[in-house]
Amino acid sequence: MTDQYGLIFTIRLRTFQALVVSGTEMAKECFTKNDVTLSTRPRHLAQKILGYSYAMFPLAPYGPYWHEVRKMVTLELLSSRRVNSFLNPIQASEADLAIQELHELGLRKDDSGHIIVDLKQWFAKLTLNVTLRIVAGKRYRAADEQEKQQCQKALREFVDFFGLFLSADALPFLRWLDLGGHEKAMKRTAEELDEIIGGWLEDHKRDNKDLGLIFQLFGLSSNGGDMVVDSEVKELQNMVDTTPKELLELHKSSAEQKYVIVDPNERLNASLQSCAEANEIMDSQKASIAMLKEQLVKERDQRREERERAAADLTAAVQRVHAEAQEMLPQNESKSSKN
């Protein structure tokens, strides 16, 4: 096919369109100059059901939403300062506790002087506790065996579902059949994870402890009193939905042109043109986001001024009523004395 179509060409894998690159120079161009055009990810059923409609950072399509979340993750959640002060001590602490448990098991040896340790279960428990302390700031103890098994089962199914290749991913019109019952099982696992994470959030609200990466997000979202506004969230969600469609249309148009282009330089120029068009779309969406943020700031300042004026009027009214009551008090006392 390389001899017939050249070093770079597109093929259709069922409903997906794939780009085949056979040369190192072409591959370098794809991952450097044209990385924006080819950086988005195909959408699968597991990403939509288990990833909260592609809202998870590793599963989100390339766009403004992905850029903002990536900036927050790299600068706040997983910065070198936070990793050194937060993540590394947790790993060392959990390793010490796991080794201590092994030591306690060794002290309870039977008459033969041996003890059986299930290393698979031991490493699974260690990995789960490290993950939970990093993410949610908690760990499971012996008394929480049932909850621990439920969490392990849900996380195991979560990982397994992302490794499946479903017929609905290749042929979306077969989704309503739910061949194999995978979609129903994904929804059940998603509900279990929602219940577990919801319990962690309730514990956080009750104890008010800022532990784990999840609860660090609360500090980022409420820092300085600036809360995430629903309209801004909807705007970002619309961009997440529309940008991949526009980029897909540009990619399809460029792919159709590549069938009739023979010269590799012409194919490269067509790809660069589609990349420039995609950049123009991204720039216009960034400008709309900036305008939206300015409007939100103005509305927030206006509401703050209105609240301050209302509070001042209410204080003045209370003082006026209090003064009138003080003036009427001697008159009422004189009337009562005459009676």
The angle that helices 24-31 and 264-338 make with each other, rounded to 10 degrees, is: 20
CB 14 within 8 A of CB 171: yes
CB 183 within 8 A of CB 175: yes
Closest CA to 21 of 31, 43, 274: 31
Quick one: pLDDT band at residue 258, thresholds 50, 70, 90?
A: very low
Residues contacting 278, CB < 8 A, separation 6+: 36, 37, 246, 247, 250
Buried b (16+ CB within 10 A) or exposed e, 40-56: beebbbbbebbbeebee
pLDDT score, position 317: 79
CB atoms near residue 166 (< 10 Å):
19
- Rounded to whole angstroms, the Cα distance separating 163 from 116 reads 33
- Rounded to whole angstroms, the Cα distance separating 35 from 247 reads 13
Domain ranges of the chain: 42-259
- Per-residue 3-state assignment (H helix, E strand, C coil) for 29-56: HHHCCCCCCCCCCCCCHHHHHHCCCCCC
CB 122 within 8 A of CB 102: yes
CB 147 within 8 A of CB 17: no
Question: What's the CATH number for 42-259?
Answer: 1.10.630.10
User: What DSSP element (H or E) covers 11?
Assistant: strand 8-13
- Rounded to whole angstroms, the Cα distance separating 8 from 269 reads 13
pLDDT score, position 218: 62
Q: Is the pLDDT confidence value at 232 over 50?
A: no
DSSP helix/strand/coil, 230: helix
The structure tokens listed for 219 are 């500090």
The single residue listed with the structure tokens 């190192």 is 24
- What does the CA dihedral 270, 273, 274, 279 come to, rounded to 10 degrees? 160
**Of 195 and 207, more confident:** 195
pLDDT score, position 245: 53
- Rounded to whole angstroms, the Cα distance separating 24 from 7 reads 9
pLDDT score, position 281: 80
Which of 28-32, 280-284, 314-318 has maximum average pLDDT?
28-32
The structure tokens listed for 272 are 């660069």
Helix ranges restricted to H, 21-166 = 24-31, 45-50, 64-72, 80-82, 88-107, 119-135, 145-162
Q: Is the pLDDT confidence value at 197 over 80?
A: yes
- Rounded to whole angstroms, the Cα distance separating 253 from 9 reads 13
**What value does the mean pLDDT take over residues 315-327?**
78
pTM above 0.75, yes or no: no
pLDDT score, position 188: 93
Helix ranges restricted to H, 181-229 = 182-207, 212-221
**Of 274 and 289, more confident:** 289
pLDDT score, position 336: 67
**Of 284 and 188, more confident:** 188
**Of 153 and 262, more confident:** 153
- Rounded to whole angstroms, the Cα distance separating 13 from 170 reads 8
Which of 135-144, 162-171, 274-283 has maximum average pLDDT?
162-171
Lowest mean pLDDT across 126-140, 229-243, 309-323: 229-243
The structure tokens listed for 324 are 């009138």
Q: Is the pLDDT confidence value at 119 over 70?
A: yes
pLDDT score, position 82: 76
pLDDT score, position 224: 41
CB 22 within 8 A of CB 8: yes
Side chain identity, residue 295: Q
Q: What is the pLDDT of residues 54-104, one digit of tens each?
A: 888 788 888 888 888 888 888 877 778 777 777 778 888 888 988 888 888
pLDDT score, position 31: 82
Q: What is the pLDDT of residues 171-196, one digit of tens each?
A: 888 888 888 899 999 999 999 988 88
Quick one: pLDDT band at residue 236, thresholds 50, 70, 90?
A: very low
Lowest mean pLDDT across 47-51, 95-99, 245-249, 257-261: 257-261
pLDDT score, position 3: 80
CB 105 within 8 A of CB 117: yes
**What value does the mean pLDDT take over residues 226-232?**
41
DSSP helix/strand/coil, 135: helix
